[in-house]
Structure 1
């Protein structure tokens, strides 16, 4: 028995959740910035990574929270889980990273256009 759970795999899944709570917003902000800067084929890779990483990590707490054990979750449980896990931990940091990257790319392009001699 590990960490008070019945099986070791469950403990490993919850360890993944703890790591996501600590590092997840930073990872998502980095993925958002990558999407904001990427062009061409790299943009497709960035978008796939931005979707796959949180899905892989959030599958564990979602299954644990809403596992079919006969007890139906209340509407408040579902809304609260989606607001915190999906909204605050995943979408908001990604949007912030993407927005900052797009602003910086636009400013850099405008500055380069202004410094380039007309000819």
Structure 2
């Protein structure tokens, strides 16, 4: 995936951009490793798509992604991996939050890469599932 590091969280919420900001180009097959900077695995995330590069700025719209338009393949304390497994071209906005650094170890018991610390991107980058 392409690592995206240009956004930083504010008030415990991570946004790749404002709704009317510059969205991420998201053609079919594209994978992003979004470095969220929340300090722990986010407990929730929302993925939005638009046909406009600047979202709602000039009358465009944002809609929740569905199905293979935007598949979240891994979330950990550093990255959220999102993939466009469709053949269509979109512009992407992701919002995530709910990370609680104090409670990160309390959940425990999960061994998958999707919940392990720092396992979504880098040397241990999981391969995408075959369709």
Q: Check whether TM > 0.5.
A: no
- TM class by shorter-chain length? under 0.3
Which of the two has greater strand per residue?
Answer: 2
Question: Which protein has the larger Cα radius of gyration, Structure 1 or Structure 2?
Answer: 1
Tell me which of the two structures has the higher relative contact order, counting C-alpha pairs closer than 8 angstroms and 6 or more residues apart: 1
Which of the two has greater helix per residue?
Answer: 1
